[in-house]
Chain A
Amino acid sequence: MNADDAALLEGLLEGEHRALARVISKIENRSPGYRELVSALYAHTGDADVVGITGSPGAGKSTLVDKLAETYRERGETVGVIAIDPSSPFSGGAVLGDRIRMASSVGDMDVFVRSMSARGTLGGLSTATADAVKAMDAFGKDKIIIETVGAGQNEIDIVRTADTVAVLVPPGSGDDIQTLKAGILEIADVFVVNKADRPGADRTVQELQEMIHLGSGGGLGAGGTGHHGADAMGDADDWGDTADEEQRWTTPIVETIATNGDGVETFIEELANHQTYLIDSGTHAQKVRQRYAEEIRTLLREDVHDILEDELAAAGGIDDLAEAVRNGETDPYTIADELLTPVEDCIDELEAGVENT
């Protein structure tokens, strides 16, 4: 790490807001040296509770996050907020407007709000977000709230970054078939029916209740443990303690009116209950392991990706190859084979070399 970055890290650990802001920028920009910086942050992380707030556009996420931050502050806890907004697929630009609705935290530097653009990532959550969470954690924030981009039915990346995920469901958001679908509703640790004063709120609560009962009765995803992709990770046995039946988490439904703060206390209680459950059931350790496993995989993919980009450049660039496919001279599968075979051979040789020594 160079001297500037070392000074930045020191500043961050000492609680300088500008240093934290700078570190997050370096992370977002993938500035030279950012990896060493993030890697040094890990030693100081692990104390913050990370809450993800997701839901459709206009569900009231920002307003609820604002009230959440305000309530945590009243309890003497410091808060970091990461608010993600979409970026333009054309210009790459973005208008990050969530900050406007976070008025309660104004003038209070102990609520650190950082707007991030999705910068083109599918699911709206990039590695940069996870790294920014590390920065806020190392800075000493007690609670970190991630407000996801107001995306649609498949925005499920957040489960890889947050300990607890709250899904906002506005009243009247579709019929009961919506609750049968896979996707965003499955990832909820807590359901929030926000705008509970609107017509149709009762019905939405009822439909969610039916969904949760279906899930717990039939042993399906919702409400169970390990529905965050433990099976997809492969050898699930290695993940340690599996929660007992009676320790299963039943997703609670909270009704809130974020604009006037109704229900926020109850919401916070449910978030705290979930944190307690995570630790008591051993699920927390499992989640943290999963998260690190995913981070390792992502980093490896990025590195391999860079190597492949170099290979592509050496092969004359992707444009020529794509043009060759367009002209019917070859096809993508053949090209991939041709480009990767030398890499595979190389690794095989290296392994053979190790075995022989």
Chain B
Amino acid sequence: MSSEQEQESIRCLVAKVGLDGHDRGAHVIARAFRDAGFEVIYSGLHKAPDEIVQAAVQEDVDVLGISILSGAHDTLVPKIMDGLEEYGAKEDTLVLAGGVIPDEDRDELKEQGVAAVFGPGTSIEETIEFVRENAPER
């Protein structure tokens, strides 16, 4: 590879937060993002909100994808958003939520600063396209 190649790469943190123990979806997304040429950091299961914040800040990710299947998004996502704000990282991090999230909760999440919610049945191409178009310019 030449040193002339495009050096910039979209960095994403794929995060599992809370008690939900299913991460097949997160694995699929991580792999798909990798194949799209992104650099993906996977958090692993059962992370607390401040662990996710720590990882997002230290890794300086452009995109934070939170996968939640447990229904606890109402309590966990705001904690993450507050943490990002504390480190001055909220403004220029594209936060996405995915998993089982009822329609009536979506507006609330968007008010919190979540840019998009991808529910069951979302195609991976759609997600990748969204990231490409909306990843923050820094």
Contacts and interface: CB of A to CB of B under 8 A. Distances in A.
Interface of A: 17-18, 21-22, 24-25, 28-31, 87-88, 91-97, 99-100, 103, 106-107, 109, 112-115, 117, 119-121, 302, 305-306, 309
Contacts, number: 101
Given A30-B7, A96-B41, A100-B44, 20 more contacts: A18-B57, A21-B58, A21-B59, A22-B60, A25-B11, A25-B60, A92-B5, A93-B33, A93-B37, A93-B39, A95-B40, A96-B39, A97-B42, A99-B42, A100-B43, A103-B44, A106-B48, A114-B59, A117-B9, A120-B1
Contacts of A114: 58-59
Interface of B: 1-5, 7-9, 11, 30-31, 33-44, 47-48, 50-51, 54-55, 57-60, 87-89, 138
B114 to A, nearest CB: 21
B24 to A, nearest CB: 15
A305 B3 CA distance: 8
B9 A18 contact: no
Contacts of B48: 106-107
A18 B89 contact: yes
Contact of A106 (B34, B42, B54, B89): B54
Contact of B5 (A106, A117, A120): A120
A91 B34 contact: yes
A94 B55 contact: no
Contacts of A96: 39-42
Nearest to A312: B4
The SS class assigned to the A binding surface is: mixed
A310 B33 CA distance: 33
Contacts of B34: 88, 91, 93-95
A128 to B, nearest CB: 9
B35 A91 contact: yes
A17 B57 contact: yes
A90 B125 CA distance: 18
Contacts of B4: 306, 309
Contact of A17 (B36, B47, B58): B58
A173 to B, nearest CB: 27
